[in-house]
Amino acid sequence: MDKRNTKRGGDRRPHSAPRRPVRGGIRAQSQKGSFAATWWGKKWIETLESFPIAPRLERGRLYARSGQVADLRIESGTVTARVQGSRKRAYRVRISLPRWNPEKASRALERLRSQPIRAAQLLAGEMPDDIESILASFGLPLFPRRHSDFSSECSCPDWSNPCKHVAAVYYLIAEALDRDPMLLFTLRGMDRDEIIAAFQGEPASADRPESPHGVQSLPLPEEPSFFWGGDSSPFIPLPVPLRPEIAAAMPKRLGPLAFWRSRRSFLREMETVYARASSFARTVIAEENWGASEESGSPSGHEQITEESR
């Protein structure tokens, strides 16, 4: 049933735990306090909670945290899910938002593509801080502006809008956005592969950004024996990698896993692993450069590494 235009008031029943638990359901990572960890995930929740639907959202949070959502898919312009209620058969939920105008969306993508830093952030799983204003300049709202923007359907007999099953999916969408902000574009009907292809397009040479921090590629030595590590090869200190601005960029670039069903956050665990590996790599490079500079009698290499490592 389409609940878009339903007028019924809020639910005043007690907020008890679901009577029919789901084994292996999608359990929200946030088990207490606020949902979502990123600014765009939190903005999704703040937007929802600004609408006059608070009682239903409260029951939806309980369902999301209890793992009552058995399956959830976010595809072009549509979210579909199965949510277990009190009956034996799970209810089917469908949610959609107004699609963006294709011509405006294409021009907005071209603007983002011309700004490599913002495109790189999106590809690495980060949403630029000014993305809302950029899209708004093309008449494209990133987040819903009113509750009527949502079109929701649920096979349950409850006519309220939203029912608790739809509300549970709203909250899990926030955690999905944490993992992959480009799903906000997907919700507006944009094809993910086309977005990635547009962002990965090679910019014109005049627009190509300079190498960050002035790091330049070193030319090969003219003497062939130096290339193979001859004793007379001059000491060239390895460049110390700077700390990445985006943690765990590779897992984020690969995109989200199927909805995570563990109590621990996969991405947060990977961020910890990458941070430790990065710190260890910096230590190894600094030690290698120090040892090589001592053997070559060139203290300047160590001085450079020490200064850059601070």
**What is 34-74 written as a DSSP string?**
-S-SSHHHHHHHHHHHTSS-HHHHHHHHHHHHTT-EEEEEE
- Domain positions in the chain are 39-200, 221-309
β-strand 151-154 against 91-96: which pairing, if any?
Answer: antiparallel
Mean pLDDT of the chain: 75
What is the predicted pLDDT for the residue at 237? 56
What is the predicted pLDDT for the residue at 66? 86
What is the predicted pLDDT for the residue at 149? 92
What is the predicted pLDDT for the residue at 144? 93
Q: Is 31 exposed, middle or buried (0-12, 13-18, 19+ CB in 10 A)?
A: exposed
In DSSP terms, 152 is beta-bridged to: 95
What is the predicted pLDDT for the residue at 295? 58
Nearest to 58 by CA among 138, 214, 170, 194: 170
**Angle formed by the axes of helices 192-200 and 102-113, to 10°?**
30
What is the predicted pLDDT for the residue at 223? 63
Nearest to 62 by CA among 17, 13, 14: 17
Low-confidence stretches of the chain (pLDDT < 70) are: 1-19, 201-247, 252-265, 288-310
- Which helix H or strand E contains 296, and what residues bound it? helix 266-296
pLDDT tens sequence across 41-85:
999 999 999 998 887 888 898 899 888 998 999 988 899 999 998
* DSSP one-letter code for 96: E
What is the predicted pLDDT for the residue at 125? 82
Q: How many CB atoms lie within 10 A of CB 268?
A: 13
CA–CA gap between residue 231 and residue 291 (Å, rounded): 15
**Angle formed by the axes of helices 102-113 and 116-123, to 10°?**
110
What is the predicted pLDDT for the residue at 224? 63
* DSSP one-letter code for 23: T
What is the predicted pLDDT for the residue at 293? 57
